[in-house]
Amino acid sequence: MTSTSVKAAPPVKKPAQLQSERRSRPVDKTYLYMLIPAVALFTLFIVLPAAIGIFLSSTNYAGYGSWDFVGFSNYLAMLNDPAILQSYGFTLMFAVATVIVVNILALAIAVGLNAKIKWRTPIRTVFFIPLVLSGLIVAYVFNYLLSNTVPLLAGELGLTSLSSSVLINEDLAWLAIVGVTAWQAIPGATIIYLAGLQAIPTDVYEAADLDGAGGWRTFRSITFPLIIGYVVINIILGFKGYLGAYEIIVALTGGGPGTATQSITMRIVGGFTGGDYAYQMANAVVFFIITVVISLVQLRLLQRKEVSL
């Protein structure tokens, strides 16, 4: 009669013990060789200029010559500057409106392109053309169309409301900027939505079809909940990008009529080149803080909804 000996299982290590072992392991020098140059470049071109900018925001530096320390005077002056407040209002309104337009249209296009339709690949190629074009080129083309072609056609058709360019209308110019920005941004958001739609198992749709669910019910109860992470990605990336809108606005309206469509970025850049360096640097610091706060709020909402990106 033979007896078999059963080896005892090794004791389960606690998380604290695992972390202690990882810390005691020697770091491979290869990681340091790859990490140190990246950290050095990031510090040299990002951290150091940011630190210098924050310091100069508390001075009266004009971009050249001598300067004096003025404390928080630049920040306090911003609170009573109507031009600064107007640029913040326009930028936030533009970012929110563009995010809504882009995501609604991009999701609708992605659902259509994901369907089994004829000539699906060529149609996708046509939709993605705006993605590879420069924003300045797109804006200049639309500037010509909205300033010349559209008013001319409207005059021939008797549409007096469109006989003048919308770019010179203080109430409508921002809509043109939203439209042109959305026209270029929709393909990028569509690609992300297509990736999410193609990741959904076909078994889910087959089960919904057997249950007799219609197209809208399937989208509302199955498709949209399963791609909510991709929706959040598009919202975060889009909102961040639209807050820094610059080139399309410059080419379309130049911030006009007057200052009706002047974004925060345009105001900051204009101050850098117009002898108002320290004041606009304070504006840049405030804008950075607002952007960070918005990002933290978005991340907090994601954590509450338990969305995995």
Tens digits of residue pLDDT in 247-302? 999 999 988 888 889 999 998 888 877 778 899 999 999 999 998 888 888 777 76
pLDDT for 55 equals 92
Q: Is residue 155 part of a domain?
A: yes
Q: Is residue 143 part of a domain?
A: yes
Q: Is residue 11 part of a domain?
A: no
CATH of residue 165: 1.10.3720.10
Question: What is the band of 79 on the pLDDT scale with cuts at 50, 70, 90?
Answer: confident
Q: Which domain holds residue 121?
A: 82-305
Q: Which of 276, 289, 256 is nearest to 86 (CA)?
A: 256
pLDDT for 1 equals 47
**Three-state SS for 271?**
helix
69, β-bridge pairs: 59
Q: Is 78 exposed, middle or buried (0-12, 13-18, 19+ CB in 10 A)?
A: middle
Q: Which of 61, 147, 94 is nearest to 260 (CA)?
A: 94
Question: What is the band of 190 on the pLDDT scale with cuts at 50, 70, 90?
Answer: very high
Q: How far apart are the first and last CA of the chain?
A: 59
Q: What is the pLDDT of residues 209-256, one digit of tens each?
A: 888 778 888 888 888 888 988 888 898 888 888 998 899 999 999 888
Q: Is residue 64 part of a domain?
A: no
Write out the two tokens for 254.
């130049």
Q: Is residue 30 part of a domain?
A: no
59, β-bridge pairs: 69
Percent of all residues in the chain with a pLDDT value above 90, rounded to a whole number: 33
Question: What is the band of 161 on the pLDDT scale with cuts at 50, 70, 90?
Answer: confident
Q: Which of 107, 127, 81, 111 is nearest to 262 (CA)?
A: 81
Mean pLDDT computed over 200-209:
84
Q: Helices 277-305 and 228-243: crossing angle, nearest 10°?
A: 170
Q: Is residue 97 part of a domain?
A: yes
- Count of domains observed in the chain: 1
